[in-house]
């Protein structure tokens, strides 16, 4: 397993990270434990969660992902051997069940969110603590056509960084990151850190896959030059790039069957692009999901590829991509398809 350094910290993480948002919803506690055991046996030491998970967010399952990780670490006695990342939820939609709906990144709420995550994780420190999405209005989750909100009501970014810095100083978190952040937002945080001596952002967790490559436009250069690598989520585009939804199929128990409201990767252009990439993989004798994951793994700006699975068979197939290197012919063909389908899943 390739090991990367997280930002400018001394934290070393496996290039494959296991995402746990299905734990407590699509996966039971026992299934989550089995997945994490398998991942560790394969060399994975990095696990990602969030206070909002299980996915999709709802009151009765909120925090379950962290709880499953916590019971696993307690049962295995392996806290020192793994790197745990989690996130604080920001304002978005109806999430009054999380911290009474007071979802801002000020000193009080950051401290409260950290304490609750520590309790669920049954640990006294979090390795990587991330803002799940910006508190301010911005383009994320695939949104286009940026609409500027002048002087919006959000916690100043220096105050956010100071609040997170207090938790670092207290030893409750080791490093901080952002998720679903923009190029401006990431550079603003780094500028504040440089100017004030507050902790730098060590990583950025954004979507990246064959159907969603906006990260390359501006954030990729920042990731490399600022030593703030990508933690790529949704590398299989909500499962579409496995090919299991081809020809309109919706397998029983699949994520799209269970949660049809999430349509980003199922719009007409997304379906056409998916068909093209799946066809390319099969033409070259590759499993479509493995080609898609190997493509993400090959990016210089990547720190970790966050895989997720609901079965151990799926997980093993994903883990096996760690050793894959796509041929020059496949990479050229991917490039040609990207020109044809440059933004198929907004």
Place of tokens 């397998």: 251
Q: How do beta strands 3-5 and 12-14 pair?
A: antiparallel
245 catalytically annotated: no
For residues 243 and 279, give the distance between their C-alpha atoms in angstroms, rounded to a whole number: 9
CA–chain centroid gap for 166, Å, is 24
The rounded distance, in Å, linking the Cα atoms of 164 and 180 is 17
The answer, yes or no, to whether the previous bond of 257 is cis (omega within 30 of 0) is: no
Query: If DSSP codes are grouped into helix, strand and coil, which group holds residue 79?
Result: helix
Crossing angle of the two packed helices 157-169 and 183-196, in degrees rounded to 10: 60
Q: How far apart are CA 133 and CA 71, in angstroms?
A: 27
Q: 53, 245, 265, 277: which one is catalytic?
A: 53
Residues 6+ away with beta carbon under 8 Å from 202: 6, 7, 8, 9, 11, 128, 175, 176, 177, 228
Contact in structure between 27 and 19 (CB atoms under 8 Å) = no
Nearest-5° angle of CA 224, CA 230, CA 232? 150
- Measuring CA to CA, how many Å separate 254 from each of 68, 162, 166? 21, 41, 41
Could you tell me which residues come within 8 angstroms of residue 108 by beta carbon, excluding any fewer than 6 positions away? Answer: none
Calculate helix-pair angle for 64-76, 29-41, nearest 10 degrees. Answer: 60
| 290 three-state secondary structure | helix
User: What's the angle, vertex CA 304, arms to CA 314 and CA 288, rounded to 5?
Assistant: 40
**SS3 of residue 184 by DSSP:** helix
- Distance between the two ends of the chain, CA-based, in angstroms? 33
Active centre residues (catalytic): 53
């Amino acid at each position: 397993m390739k090991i990367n350094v997280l930002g400018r910290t001394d934290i070393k993480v496996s290039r494959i990270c296991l995402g746990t948002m299905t734990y407590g919803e699509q996966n039971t506690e026992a299934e989550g434990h089995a997945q994490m055991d398998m991942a560790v046996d394969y060399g994975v030491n990095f696990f990602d969660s969030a206070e909002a998970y299980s996915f999709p967010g709802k009151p009765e399952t909120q925090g379950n992902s962290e709880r499953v990780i916590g019971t696993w670490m307690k049962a295995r006695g392996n806290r020192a051997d793994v790197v745990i990342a989690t996130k604080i939820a920001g304002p978005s939609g109806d999430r009054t069940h999380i911290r009474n709906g007071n979802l801002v990144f000020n000193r009080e709420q950051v401290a409260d969110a950290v304490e609750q995550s520590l309790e669920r994780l049954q640990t006294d420190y979090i390795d990587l603590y991330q803002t799940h999405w910006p508190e301010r209005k911005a383009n994320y989750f695939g949104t286009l056509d940026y609409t500027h909100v002048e002087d919006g009501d959000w916690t100043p970014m220096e105050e956010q960084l100071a609040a997170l810095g207090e938790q670092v100083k207290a030893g409750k978190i080791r490093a901080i990151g952002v998720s679903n952040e923009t190029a401006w937002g990431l550079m603003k945080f780094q500028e504040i850190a440089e100017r004030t001596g507050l902790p730098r952002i060590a990583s950025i967790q954004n979507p990246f896959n064959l159907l969603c490559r906006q990260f390359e436009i501006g954030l990729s250069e920042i990731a490399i030059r600022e030593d703030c690598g990508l933690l790529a989520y949704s590398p299989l585009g909500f499962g579409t790039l496995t090919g299991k939804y081809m020809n309109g199929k919706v397998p029983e128990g699949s994520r799209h069957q269970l949660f049809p409201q999430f349509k980003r990767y199922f719009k007409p252009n997304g379906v056409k692009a998916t068909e093209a990439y799946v066809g390319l993989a099969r033409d070259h004798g590759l499993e479509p999901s493995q080609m898609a994951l190997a493509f993400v793994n090959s990016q210089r700006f990547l720190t970790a590829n966050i895989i997720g699975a609901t079965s151990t068979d799926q997980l093993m197939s994903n883990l096996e991509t760690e050793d894959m290197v796509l041929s020059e012919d496949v990479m050229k063909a991917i490039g040609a398809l990207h020109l044809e389908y440059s933004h198929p899943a907004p």
